Amino acid sequence: MSLRSPLGRVLGLGSAKDGTSHWWGQRVSAVALLLLGIWFAGMLATMSGFSYAEAAAFIARPVNSILLLLLTVSMAYHSYLGVQVVIEDYVHAPGIKVVSLLLTRFVHTLLAVAALYAILKIGLGA
């Protein structure tokens, strides 16, 4: 006795065995964003001004640089996972789906690398 539907048996469709890791990735990155977001909002609230010099001094502190790097990576990863789910659920044309998923991955990677570069450049005082 099988629990699969007759259509599923005919088409051979089944579990891709990828849902659990995706689900955990979203949850873990959401918790990281919650904690890092609270820290970031608290730091912004305590800053006296928002000039470039004050922002650069904020980023130049090692703890702040590290936490900003973690926030950036968590945000990029969480955003990528969310956009991936939306594309997989609502884009039905196979060619457009593949191109959209590749483009999304490249854009998220590019933005994350650019943000990491900027934080490291300011943080290391280069």
CATH of the domain at 98: 1.20.1300.10
92 lies in some domain: yes
pLDDT digits (tens, 9 = 90+) for 96-121: 999 999 999 999 999 999 999 999 99
pLDDT digits (tens, 9 = 90+) for 8-31: 666 665 566 667 888 999 999 999
Say whether pLDDT at 7 is over 80. no
As a whole number of Å, the CA-based R_g of the chain is 20
In terms of residue numbers, what domain contains 34?
17-123
Q: What is the torsional sign of CA 48, 49, 51, 56?
A: positive
96 lies in some domain: yes
3 lies in some domain: no
1 lies in some domain: no
111 lies in some domain: yes
How many domains, in total, are found in the chain?
1
38 lies in some domain: yes
Distance CA 39, CA 93 (A): 41
Say whether pLDDT at 70 is over 60. yes
Any idea which residue has 């010099």 for tokens? 53
107 lies in some domain: yes
| Structure-token pair, residue 101 | 């998923």
Distance CA 98, CA 93 (A): 9
27 lies in some domain: yes
Looking at residue 17, its pLDDT comes to 60
| Structure-token pair, residue 12 | 């051979």
Sequence-distant contacts of 90-95: CB under 8 A, at least 24 apart: none
